[in-house]
Amino acid sequence: MQPLVLKFGGTSMGDVERIQRAARIVAAERAGGRPLCVVVSAMSGETDRLVKLARAAGAERPEGPAVSGHGFDDEYDVIVSTGEQVATGLLALALRQLGVPARSWQNWQIPIRTDGHHARARIQSIEDGAVGTHMDSGEVAVIPGFQGVTQDGRITTLGRGGSDTSAVAMAAALRAQRCDIYTDVDGVYTTDPRIVKGAQRLDRIAYEEMLELASLGAKVLQTRSVELAMAHRVVVRVLSSFIEPGVAQIGTLVCAEDEVKMEQRIVSGVAYSRDEARVALFGVPDSPGVAAEIFGRLAQAGVNVDMIVQSQARREGAQNIVFTVTEREAQRALDAVRAGASIGFEEAQVRRDVAKVSVIGIGMRSHAGVAHTMFAALAAKGINIEAISTSEIKISVLIDAQYVELAVRALHTAYGLDAAA
Amino acid sequence: MQPLVLKFGGTSMGDVERIQRAARIVAAERAGGRPLCVVVSAMSGETDRLVKLARAAGAERPEGPAVSGHGFDDEYDVIVSTGEQVATGLLALALRQLGVPARSWQNWQIPIRTDGHHARARIQSIEDGAVGTHMDSGEVAVIPGFQGVTQDGRITTLGRGGSDTSAVAMAAALRAQRCDIYTDVDGVYTTDPRIVKGAQRLDRIAYEEMLELASLGAKVLQTRSVELAMAHRVVVRVLSSFIEPGVAQIGTLVCAEDEVKMEQRIVSGVAYSRDEARVALFGVPDSPGVAAEIFGRLAQAGVNVDMIVQSQARREGAQNIVFTVTEREAQRALDAVRAGASIGFEEAQVRRDVAKVSVIGIGMRSHAGVAHTMFAALAAKGINIEAISTSEIKISVLIDAQYVELAVRALHTAYGLDAAA
């Protein structure tokens, strides 16, 4: 029988009681007879505690001359990875308390190999032989998420949120039937239920849609894990770990487009992000190569640019260039364009009180008028659009931050996503 | 050049500031040019926290039928061993902050192999090849104490206090010049300075003496580490980590007898232990095999018996048997002898208000009158001796617990150990 991978995040592993609840969920799943692999995060708060210790002992950028070949990240990984190690032991013990055979597997015991980029490593290969044999014999394998081991045997971590990625990678390696991600919500919603009461849980969502949602601020799944799931065709299910084990729940299935299409939706969800800043450059010379110069400098400075709008300025021979970045990168973006003396613009301006609202749906590919519905719905509420960007399955607009909730509600209604009252 | 092993205990690694102090000590030692290996304990309090978590998740003895091959101790080791792992990373980072090249080595990376007795494993072998090469190149190796890895790659711990043993084992494997144990005292004393103001630090002490002191309640070094040092002739030095690095300190050298003898002491120290219980069996039949029956049952029950006194009872054909055990084992001892219906004694009695006081010294081997001095000194203070046991280099007496301090002071003076005022 194909195995099943289950993943429990930090809040689902928050304390011993929650770990015991996770154990009951695993025990209930085991009744189905499938070999089981459980990937766990560190108990919530634990990673932060360890990061703080590491920073206190080793300051992120050691002062003085660099000691050859010695940085911060390798030992940071040694320290921080212990959070998940503890979690594996605790869950294995909690499972045994329920009479379920279980054991922990550390990454070096499997091994799960990554590249050598400490603190942001990428999984390269998983040798699932021994784990698989144990799983086939009925023993639940409990594995720490978020980490791996290099070719020469040093501990790495995948970067924050990497546990989802570990789970999907393990599911791919084990050719699992499915990867169940247990989290603090019971699925993926058409939009944020805190803003729209009528938000509905989606039974299914395509990888591409989930990817747009994940990168647009819906924090259910980590972007990299969705990319990996799509690449390996791993079916992912998002479920709540806060429902009593045994109570049936459907969750949301993240799967290939052709398995979703039958639902015939045009728009699957409305997402928003407040973590936006709008940088405007006024009076940029209207000559070839200027845009290349600007965005080349931003790339060099490591700034990710999202939307870009170029428009004619009032003055002849000049144009205005507006782009958006995350709030954190706004100052860096400004510094980068100002440092480019050769660019020559009249004025630079940053606005942080902006937000991005997006509608996402694979149905857009085959339906016209989706953008019109969006613009009309926003206009009807008197909301001004400051920038637009589109992809095949997404339309995003930049608006004044104070209208975010209003815009999300209007769009949710306009696309017929509201639940029947 | 022969390498040096340094070991820092839990209080020496108590917080980031203390870890930075330990790093300064290592950096100062490195100026001497020797390859360095540092063995660390978990930050104080950390192991207790992890033990508590493990017990909460897995209760020490799982209820219900045992799940085949699955107990508690293997995952307990997975959980508890993370404390030292964190400490290695923190010290490595603190060293790099001082410009000292350093890296952590986990046990499975070396590897340090142990048997499979989880939570109380014993070291079997250490492959020091890779570590040694790195050390020779000037990089400080930072290693977690108290743990190892089995042949099939599972994590083990050596039991509480095992970090000293790890350090000595590492020193033996590396053929180190010396193993420096940094602790919260600046050496081994002739007796407890809290009881005797004139207690003196010993410059040198023989392995055999240290062994007696360690097992008699002087908590400076763990008994197993001293046994291991004696077996491999590893010279151990006990030092304080609370003295500012750079300030010269002598500490106490624990070494072979022939290197100590020149000091011509008869008694090196006075030790005491309050963790004693006296079990008396009155009216035991005076027939062959009865003692064997009693102590056989105690051994079966896992009770360690220390002193034994056998005496004629008033009634003919009967004897009294008195023995001592640790306080914790007193009830178990009583249960064991009572369960032996065939033993047939008239009355059993336990007294917990007893203590053991011992004088230790390799000089006893060649000097007469040592016991007489002891008994006379105690008699002069009106202290009654309830039992006596002796070895080649030790005399222990059991006394009423309320006289412990008085007895220790009297003996310290009687053997001329008091420092000149």
| Assigned token pair, B225 | 């580490």
CA distance B157 to chain A (A): 14
Amino acid at B361: G
- Residues A58, B96: C-beta atoms closer than 8 Å: yes
- Would you give the DSSP letter of residue B279? E
Q: Under an 8 A CB cutoff, do A97 and B58 touch?
A: yes
Provide the 3-class DSSP secondary structure of residue B182: strand
Backbone angles phi, psi at B380, to 5 degrees: -60, -25
Residue A339, CA atoms < 13 Å, CB-side half-sphere: 12
Check residues B313 and B278 and name the one with the higher pLDDT.
B278
Q: Is B373 on the interface with A (CB under 8 A)?
A: no
Q: Does A384 touch chain B (CB under 8 A)?
A: no
Quick one: which H or E segment has residue A348?
Answer: strand A347-360
Q: What is the mean pLDDT of chain A?
A: 90
Whether the per-residue pLDDT at A127 is higher than 50: the answer is yes
Window B:232-291, CB contacts with A under 8 Å: none
So what's the pLDDT on residue B117?
93
Locate the chain A residue with the closest alpha carbon to B143: A78
> What is the sign, positive or negative, of the torsion defined by CA atoms of B181, B182, B186, B192?
negative
Using an 8 Å Cβ cutoff, are A119 and A55 in contact?
no
B70: its two tokens: 């699955």
**Token digits for B415?**
């053997």
The answer to whether the CB atoms of A75 and B101 lie below 8 A apart is: no
User: Facing residues of B228 across strands?
Assistant: none
Q: Supply the pLDDT for residue B346.
A: 87
So what's the pLDDT on residue B413? 96
Smallest Cβ–Cβ distance between B79 and the set A69, A89, A154 belongs to A89
Tokens of B77: 């080791």
CA closest to B142 among chain A residues: A75
Any idea which residue has 């011509």 for tokens?
Answer: B264
Confidence of residue B345 (pLDDT cuts 50, 70, 90): confident
C-beta of residue A181 within 8 angstroms of C-beta of residue A7: yes
In angstroms, the CA A218 to CA A212 distance is: 9
Q: Which of B83-97, B102-116, B258-272, B288-302 has the lowest mean pLDDT?
A: B258-272
Cα radius of gyration rounded to whole Å, chain B? 24
Which of A261-270, A276-285, B219-228, B399-408 has the weakest average pLDDT? A261-270
Q: pLDDT band at B341, cuts 50/70/90?
A: low
Calpha distance A369→A314 (Å, rounded): 32
Helices in B43-102 by DSSP H: which ranges? 46-58, 73-80, 82-97
Chain A neighbors of B90, CB-CB under 8 A: 53-54, 57-58, 75, 79
* pLDDT, average across residues B185-208: 92
Does residue B14 or residue A316 have the better pLDDT? B14
Average pLDDT of the segment spanning A219-236: 92
Distance CA A81, CA B201 (A): 42
Q: Would you say residue B62 has pLDDT above 70?
A: no
Decide if B26 touches A, using CB distance below 8 A: no
Alpha carbon B193 to chain centroid, angstroms: 19
Q: Name every chain A residue with its beta carbon within 8 A of the beta carbon of B65.
A: 99
Model pLDDT, residue B64: 47
Q: What pLDDT is stored for residue A262 in this prediction?
A: 61
Q: Which residues of A touch B73 (CB under 8 A)?
A: none
Residue A220 contacts B where some CB pair is shorter than 8 Å: no
Paired tokens of A341: 């003396």
H/E element, A8:
strand A4-8
Confidence of residue A344 (pLDDT cuts 50, 70, 90): confident
B51/A contact by beta carbon, under 8 A: no
User: What tens digit of pLDDT does each residue of B210-232 get?
Assistant: 998 877 766 788 889 999 999 99
Please state, rounded to an integer, the average pLDDT across all residues of chain B: 90
Give A259 or A49, the one with higher predicted confidence.
A49
Q: Which percentage of chain B shows pLDDT scores above 90?
A: 69
Q: Would strands A236-240 and A252-255 be described as parallel, antiparallel, or unpaired?
A: antiparallel
User: Residue B137 above 50 pLDDT?
Assistant: yes
- Residue A68's pLDDT is 46
Sequence-distant (≥ 6) Cβ neighbours of residue B77 within 8 angstroms = B118, B119, B147, B154, B155, B156, B157
Measured between beta carbons, the chain A residues lying within 8 angstroms of B70 are 96, 101-103
Q: Complex ipTM, two decimals?
A: 0.84
DSSP code of B189?
Answer: B
Please tell me the pTM assigned to this model. 0.86
- Across the interface, whether the CB atoms of A57 and B90 are under 8 A apart is answered yes
Query: What are the pLDDT digits (tens) for B255-300?
Result: 998 888 766 678 999 999 999 999 999 999 888 888 888 999 999 8
Range in A54-63, A160-169, A244-253 the model is least confident about:
A54-63
| Residue A68 contacts B where some CB pair is shorter than 8 Å | yes
Instruction: Specify the range with the lowest mean pLDDT, choosing from B74-78, B263-267, B328-332.
Output: B263-267
CA-based nearest residue to A333, from A323, A343, A318 = A323
Mean pLDDT of the region A315-343:
87
CB spacing of B65 vs A19 below 8 angstroms = no
Q: Does B94 touch chain A (CB under 8 A)?
A: yes
pLDDT band of residue A138 (cuts 50, 70, 90) is very high
| Cis amide prior to A111 (ω within 30 degrees) | yes
User: Are A122 and A172 spatial neighbours (Cβ–Cβ below 8 Å)?
Assistant: no
Where do the domains of chain A lie, and which CATH numbers do they carry?
4-263 (3.40.1160.10), 270-414 (3.30.2130.10)
Q: Judge contact between A91 and A19, C-beta under 8 A.
A: yes
Extended strands (E) in A242-346: 252-255, 269-285, 308-312, 318-325
